Copies of this chain bind each other. A is one copy, B any other.
Amino acid sequence: MSLIVQKYGGTSVADIARIKIIAEMIAAEKESGKDVVVVVSAMAGETDKLISLAHQVTDEPDDRELDMLLSSGEVVSIALLAMALNSLGYKSESFTGPQVGIITDAFHTRARIKKITADRIHKALKEDKIPVVAGFQGINEQEDITTLGRGGSDITAVALASALKADVCEIYTDVDGVYTTDPRIVQNARRLDKISYDEMLEMASLGAKVLQIRSVGFAKKYNVPLLVKSSFKEGKGTLVTMEDPEMEDVVVSGVAYSKEQSKITISGVPDRPGIAAKIFGRIAEAGLIVDMIVQNISENGLTDISFTIPREDTKKAMNLMSGLAKEIDALDVNVDDSIAKISIIGVGMRSHSGIASKMFAALAKENINIMMISTSEIKVSCVIQSKYTELAVRVLHDEFELG
């Protein structure tokens, strides 16, 4: 029998009316003869509400306790959805992350899944039940509750799909697929029928909020086909899958942007071997994720090092770097949080040249200054002032004829 994992995000279970609609959708899938395992997020807004409560208690809530707190959000939505399914006449059981054996490492608030036992899911499926699993949460080896970070429900879904050898992992969200760029910014943005894992990885990491980057990485690693669909309207969605030859015909598949980073610059750093290792070692120890790194040419034995990190980690990173700056005799540390990152992505880039310069020229034509550049085989990213974000996206979408 074919098995699918369906994941419903917060907006898909935002209220009781939505939960009932989702239950009907799941029931229809079950009726078509498939085994269905469902993963849900907390009801839209709940996680933010919980975080706000925590911050009313203290500026820096304890991470272990924050995970405990946040884990309650999904417990509400799984129970309500399982009730809705039961009331429709379908046997269903809800499970927390710990109950289905989602074992993670010990990094609270951003844990990684190490293994999934899934015994209770197998048992429920054998009993013809529909298991409804809490996304975003797991348990570490000390049996403390952990969470997987924002978007963690996608990871739960993909990891489960892989562990259960599901045929497909369907990610239901409030958009009907992956677009060439943000349709709120560019009117003629186009839904893509298909996109490769690598392209999706770049899109996700660059702020196209459809899928969480770690979930795409996971899906690629274990070759789990992802189907991104809307739970609000009918549609084919976008299939995220292995690269196939025809994809190369398109040079640039999409334009992505992210306003959710800050740039930290450590200036006047003595240009000695090992300094960069020290800086980014410290950052890594704290579990912070650095995106772009740029080091200037050294002048008088001093250099500047800039890097970008998720904006919510700015305070943590600044605390770390202020301490470190003294240790390494750097002159100053400062932060710029009015930046944006604009990127073009496409597997076709590999076989085409001049893509980057075309991008830089298009931005220059609009007097948009480029502060940092980073490239990979299939993407080019530029950090610019955030006020130019929308303009830059439109210019690049036109330049590469994506409409």
Contacting pair B87 A64 (CB below 8 A): no
Closest Cβ neighbor of A23 among chain B residues: B57
A75 to B72, CA, bound (A): 6
Complex interface: chain B residues within 8 A of A235 (CB):
none
Contact yes or no, B69 A57, CB < 8 A: no
**Would you call A66 and B53 a contact (CB within 8 A)?**
no
Give the residues in chain B near A96, CB-CB below 8 Å: 68, 145
Cβ B75 vs Cβ A62 within 8 A: no
B16, B68, B82, B87: the one contacting A68 at CB < 8 Å is B82
Pick the contact of A66: B54, B56, B60, B79 (CB < 8 A). B79
| Contact residues in B for A75 (Cβ distance below 8 Å) | 68-69, 71-72, 75
Q: Which residues of A in the span 104-142 have a Cβ within 8 Å of any Cβ on B? A: 120
Given contacts A83-B66, A86-B65, contact A76 B58 (CB under 8 A): no
Asked if A61 is at the interface of the complex by the 8 Å CB criterion, the answer is yes
Q: Does A24 contact B (CB under 8 A)?
A: no
Chain B residues, Cβ within 8 Å of A50: 76
Most buried by B among A72, A92, A99: A72
CB-based contact B79/A69 at 8 Å:
yes
Q: Judge whether B65 and A83 touch: CB under 8 Å.
A: yes
Contact, CB under 8 Å: A62 / B82: yes
With most chain B CB atoms within 10 A of its CB, the pick from A56, A62, A93 is: A62
Cβ of A143 within 8 Å of any chain B Cβ, yes or no, is yes
A57 touches B87 (CB 8 A): yes
Q: With an 8 A cutoff between CB atoms, is A20 at the interface?
A: yes
Which of B54, B56, B68 is the one whose CB lies under 8 Å from A94? Answer: B68
The copy count of this chain in the complex is: 2
Inter-chain contact A58/B84, CB cutoff 8 Å = yes
Question: Cβ of A168 < 8 Å from any Cβ of B?
Answer: no
* A95 nearest in chain B by CB position: B68
Determine how close the nearest CB of chain B comes to the CB of A67; give it in whole angstroms. Answer: 8
Render A35-58 as a binary contact track against B, CB cut-off 8 A, 1 for contact. Answer: 000000000000000100110111
CA distance A16 to B51 in the complex (A): 13
Q: How far is the CA of A82 from the CA of B72 in the complex (A)?
A: 15
B residues near A56, Cβ cutoff 8 Å:
16
Rounded to whole angstroms, the CA-CA distance of A89 and B40 in the bound complex is 36
Confirm or deny: A160 has a beta carbon within 8 angstroms of a beta carbon on chain B.
Answer: no
| Partner pick for A80 among B16, B69, B83, B86, CB 8 A cutoff | B69
CA distance A50 to B64 in the complex (A): 25
Which residues of A from 314 to 360 have beta carbons under 8 Å from B?
none
A239 at the interface (CB under 8 A from B): no
A320 vs chain B, min Cβ distance (A): 20
Chain B residues in 8 Å Cβ range of A69: 75-76, 79-80, 83
Determine which of B58, B78, B79 lies in contact with A87 in the assembled complex, contact meaning CB atoms within 8 Å: B58
Top 5 closest pairs, chain A to chain B, by CB: A69-B79, A58-B87, A68-B79, A72-B75, A72-B72
Name 6 interchain pairs, CB-CB below 8 A, sorted by A.
A16-B56, A16-B57, A57-B83, A65-B92, A69-B79, A75-B75
Q: Using a CB–CB distance below 8 Å, which chain A residues touch chain B?
A: 16, 19-20, 50, 53-54, 56-58, 60-62, 64-66, 68-69, 71-73, 75-76, 78-80, 82-84, 86-87, 92-94, 96, 98-99, 120, 143, 145
| Known contacts A58-B87, A68-B94; 20 further A-B pairs (Cβ under 8 A) | A16-B53, A16-B56, A53-B80, A57-B80, A58-B83, A58-B84, A61-B83, A61-B86, A62-B82, A62-B86, A65-B92, A65-B94, A66-B83, A68-B75, A68-B82, A68-B96, A69-B79, A72-B72, A72-B73, A72-B79
